Structure 1
Amino acid sequence: MAVRLALQPPEDEKKAFEQLLTPFKAGQRKNCGNGFEKSTVSKTVKDVTDAIVGRAGQFIKWPVTSGARAVIKNGFYLQARFPNVIGCIDGTHVPIVAPATDENACVNRKGFHSINVQAVCDHDALIQQVRTDMKEGDQARGFEHGVLLGESGYAVRPFLLTPYPNPQDDAQERSVCVIFIG
């Protein structure tokens, strides 16, 4: 089984999800094209989202016991020969409508309003943690029992391994592929 980094679905799923969200993007028409008013769809999406968030703790769990961590570490080792890996981490900017107050606090480095969402998944691509409140220095909390695999946008830290930015030989190239292909 391949290791998929959190929040990076296969291209088909990503395209389908983007198509599904198109009618709901800010500035779209009043009617969503399927006979439902945009306000009705927005309320329904909010209600469903609230229900999912209300139950998230049942499904999104950080491995707090040594036994749970051992299962995940063994899974990563069996799949990719990476020892001591506790999860894969990735993040994305979720576009939002500019808030009425403190608008500049939500402008990202690319110049649009967003919420920065970061997630960690295990060897089976099950989400273990989702955060939207990352602050510098916060990132190491909870990772003292293993290391994370991240993509090249992350800085290398004692708890975080990233691919070689410019592989110089076959061994370095394979290291990059192992992280992303599994």
Structure 2
Amino acid sequence: MAARQQQRRKFRDRKDIFWDFSDAELIRRYRLDRAGIVAVTDLVRDELHSQTCRNKALSPELKVAITLRYLATGKMQLCSGDDFGVSQPTISRVIWQTITALTAPRVFHQFVKFPLTRQEVQRKQVEFMAIARFPGVEGVIDGTHVRIVAPKDDEYAYVNRKRYHSINVQIVFDATYKILDIVTKWPGSVHDAHILDESGLKMLFEDNYVPQPCHLLGDSGYPFKQWLLTPYTNRQLAGPQANYNR
């Protein structure tokens, strides 16, 4: 019994970020102010709520703050643990639990949803038309490489053309930079065109779920399609083709 008492866990003081920081300081550290952190927490509060108060269970707000801090800075989990007064294994579990909750379909589709009604599509087209007088465009598509630590399995597949390990993420966004569609499952060596060819986005257009006429804009890494407009590659262009590229 004496040995157990000696080994009793010691809990460090935990930071109350809402008390310690102003909104401006919260944005610097977490990319969101007080209201933003609470809004994100409310989306996943039930999933993050601890079933017991034993061992000074973390509040949903603190779990979200820990995750935001990690995502905003890429800071080492051990350093984040020191900042928040919790252990590194706890930081790791919290980040996994919070991201899993935030990416659940119930939450994800509230914010990332490809427009399929004629009214939604026309609104996106009007927004793009106001930028460069380019008609019929609903969104812009591209791939972006998110750097990762080299995985143990199939390591070579994640090496991209710039020779670092990554995930090649396909993103479609509208004229206000809002993400409409995202695919995050392909290793860095996979070409943008292949990702599109295997995506549900292609099915939406080719099976006529998207009201026509409607186009995406892409760079020359994509094939030209009726619904996917890409640049002419001839640099000696003039007239309408040059205007199209511009």
TM-score range, shorter chain: 0.5 to 0.7
Structure 2 match to 1:108: 160
Q: How many Å apart are 1:67 and its aligned residue? A: 2.3
**Preserved contact between residue 147 and residue 164 of structure 2 (Cα < 8 Å):** yes
Q: Give runs of aligned pairs for residues 43-122 of structure 1, distance below 5 A.
A: 43-54=93-104, 55-122=107-174
TM-score (normalised: structure 1): 0.65
Secondary structure (helix, strand or coil) at the match of 1:108 reads coil
Structure 1 match to 2:203: 141
Q: How many Å apart are 1:175 and its aligned residue? A: 4.8
Structure 1 match to 2:51: none
**Preserved contact between residue 138 and residue 216 of structure 2 (Cα < 8 Å):** yes
**Preserved contact between residue 128 and residue 175 of structure 2 (Cα < 8 Å):** yes
Alignment partners' CA distance in 2, 1:174 and 1:82: 8
Structure 2 match to 1:5: none
Q: How many Å apart are 1:68 and its aligned residue? A: 1.8
**Preserved contact between residue 167 and residue 173 of structure 1 (Cα < 8 Å):** no
Structure with greater Cα Rg: 2
Alignment partners' CA distance in 2, 1:39 and 1:124: 39
Alignment partners' CA distance in 2, 1:30 and 1:167: 56
Structure 2 match to 1:127: 179
Determine whether 1:31 maps to 2:79.
yes
String of CA shifts for 1:91-142, please: whole Å, max 9, x gaps: 2111222323222232222222221111111222221100124672336332
Q: How many Å apart are 1:42 and its aligned residue? A: 3.6
Alignment partners' CA distance in 2, 1:173 and 1:129: 28
Gaps spanning 5+ residues in structure 1: where?
A: 1-12, 177-182
Counterparts in 2 of 1:42 and 1:162: CA distance versus 1, 3 Å? farther
Secondary structure (helix, strand or coil) at the match of 1:58 reads coil
Structure with more relative contact order (C-alpha pairs < 8 Å, separation 6 or more): 1
Identity %: 35
Given residue 150 of structure 1, which amino acid in structure 2 is its aligned partner? G
Q: How many Å apart are 1:34 and its aligned residue? A: 6.0
**Preserved contact between residue 88 and residue 122 of structure 1 (Cα < 8 Å):** yes
**Preserved contact between residue 171 and residue 183 of structure 2 (Cα < 8 Å):** yes
Determine whether 1:157 maps to 2:209.
no
Gaps spanning 5+ residues in structure 2: where?
A: 1-27, 32-68, 187-192, 207-211
Q: How many Å apart are 1:173 and its aligned residue? A: 7.8
The structure carrying a bigger helix percent of its residues is: 2
Alignment partners' CA distance in 1, 2:94 and 2:238: 52
Secondary structure (helix, strand or coil) at the match of 1:59 reads coil
Structure 2 match to 1:3: none
TM-score (normalised: structure 2): 0.51
Counterparts in 2 of 1:113 and 1:170: CA distance versus 1, 3 Å? same
Given residue 155 of structure 1, which amino acid in structure 2 is its aligned partner? Y
Alignment partners' CA distance in 1, 2:136 and 2:238: 25
Count of paired positions: 157
Secondary structure (helix, strand or coil) at the match of 2:79 reads coil
